[in-house]
Amino acid sequence: MTNTDPETNNPLPAAGGIVISVDAMGGDQGPAVVVAGLARFLEKEPEARILLHGPQDTLAPLVAKRKIGDRVTIRHAEGVVDMTDKPSHVMRHGKGTSMWSAIDAVRDKEAQSCVSCGNTGALMAVSMVRLRKAEGVNRPAIACLWPSRNPGGFNLMLDVGADVRADQDDLLTYAMMGASYARNGLGIERPRIGLLNVGVEEHKGRAELKVANDLIGRAAPLADFDYVGFVEGGDIPSDRVDVIVTDGFTGNIALKTGEGTASMISGLLREAFNKTPLSKIAALLAMTSLNRFKKRIDPRRANGGVFLGLNGTVVKSHGSADALGVAAAVKLAYRLASSGFSDRLAARVASAAALTGPDGERTRTEGTGTR
């Protein structure tokens, strides 16, 4: 007998598979692009299932058109969180929205992770209230992937905007969470972690950065990651480090600066190659290399900021993401869910204080499975 959704009578995803909860209504380009992205993702992940949140009459034709109805269950939700809505307003009036419904599916264990293209502030606020912060976390963080010279093509940076503040204990927690993400999300067994500063010398930086430098350095051998010390802005896309730790104010400015610079470079290249007939011929001759370069820096491949430090995995897709970007965000959520990332992260963060006891002594037992 097939289980059905009590609200819609749609079949629920089969037991045993990974279920991703998706907010269909948050993106700038509307639910059609979200559903198109799901179709791309499901084509490559035959075991995955989707719980899709939004108006039934809007989503049903889109799902039927993509012929993915056997793997997508629609959870009816009338309301929509707009990009201009203040988080406080959403907290008071957002219970019937697709965003709220998508997060509740993770809270109620119907899905292993959630994806939304919606309002970042509202998504974080609802996620914190509905999922709650994990034990040992004072401030959750948003982690994003950054194109780099590393073999995997990306570095990880956190926080990039969840909270503009971060003291030394928060930065230590970010390092622990970043290490867990790098292992489970990027497959890096022993990640290298750096603390972003205005210079690499130990005497530089704010007081909390100097204390955090000592705390992270003490935790590194106990938590099975390598600490490279202070790093500068130029190291963010380098192969010197795998995880960059910083506060949300600095991280968000760096992220937006990087996105703007990449957009400017792409625009200038187009202008240069379209300038004269000769330059257009040169562009044709260099097409293969240009396409390779474009793919390497394409932000759609790294779409998806992960909310770390909550009792559940939430992936924030870029609001303007196209189908390829949505597919990348859902793929990231699927990969993290498949690894049991949320439970591993909670265990890792909860052990942070013990790992750096007053004398820096190792207080955990080897072989616990904590990653």
- Is the per-residue pLDDT at 37 higher than 90? yes
| Number of domains making up the chain | 2
Q: Is there a single domain that holds both residue 33 and residue 103? A: yes
The answer to the question of residue 226 being in a domain is yes
Q: Is there a single domain that holds both residue 74 and residue 153? A: no
12 — pLDDT class (breaks 50, 70, 90): very low
Q: Is there a single domain that holds both residue 59 and residue 91? A: yes
The CATH number of the domain holding residue 217 is 3.40.718.10
The answer to the question of residue 35 being in a domain is yes
Whether this model's pTM surpasses 0.85: no
205 — pLDDT class (breaks 50, 70, 90): confident
- Is the per-residue pLDDT at 75 higher than 80? yes
Best mean pLDDT range from 11-15, 87-91, 339-343: 87-91
Task: Give residue 322's pLDDT.
Answer: 86
Task: Give residue 348's pLDDT.
Answer: 73
* Encoded tokens for 161: 């905007």
- Is the per-residue pLDDT at 358 higher than 90? no
**Number of residues assigned to the chain:** 371
Q: Could you list the residue range(s) of the whole structural domain that residue 310 is in?
A: 19-131+303-332
Backbone angles phi and psi of 350, in degrees to 5: -60, -25
- Residue 79 three-state SS: strand
- Is the per-residue pLDDT at 356 higher than 70? no
353 — pLDDT class (breaks 50, 70, 90): low
Task: Give residue 366's pLDDT.
Answer: 39
Among 301, 307, 292, CA closest to 326? 301
Q: What share of the chain has pLDDT > 90, as a percent?
A: 38
The answer to the question of residue 116 being in a domain is yes
Task: Give residue 357's pLDDT.
Answer: 52
Higher pLDDT among residues 288 and 232, named by residue: 232
Average pLDDT on 319-339 reads 88
Task: Give residue 354's pLDDT.
Answer: 61
The answer to the question of residue 203 being in a domain is yes
Tell me the per-residue pLDDT of 289-303, one tens digit each, with 9 for 90 and over: 777 766 666 655 667
Q: Is there a single domain that holds both residue 211 and residue 313? A: no
Higher pLDDT among residues 106 and 258, named by residue: 106
Beta strands across the sheet bearing 113-116: 72-76, 49-54, 19-23, 113-116, 313-316, 305-308, 141-147, 154-158, 243-245, 192-196, 226-231
Q: What is the mean pLDDT of the chain?
A: 83
The answer to the question of residue 126 being in a domain is yes
31-35, 38-42, 302-306, 330-334: which has the minimum mean pLDDT? Answer: 302-306
Q: Is there a single domain that holds both residue 210 and residue 308? A: no
Higher pLDDT among residues 362 and 127, named by residue: 127
Residue-wise DSSP of 141-210: EEEEEEE-SSTTSEEEEE-SSS-S---HHHHHHHHHHHHHHHHHHH--SS-EEEEE-S-SSTT-S-HHHH
DSSP conformational letter for 97? B
- Is the per-residue pLDDT at 57 higher than 90? yes
Higher pLDDT among residues 362 and 84, named by residue: 84
The answer to the question of residue 136 being in a domain is no
Exposed (0-12), middle (13-18) or buried (19+): which is 277, by Cβ within 10 Å?
exposed
The answer to the question of residue 322 being in a domain is yes
Average pLDDT on 342-363 reads 61
11 — pLDDT class (breaks 50, 70, 90): very low
Average pLDDT on 69-76 reads 93
Task: Give residue 360's pLDDT.
Answer: 42
Task: Give residue 365's pLDDT.
Answer: 33
Q: What share of the chain has pLDDT > 70, as a percent?
A: 87
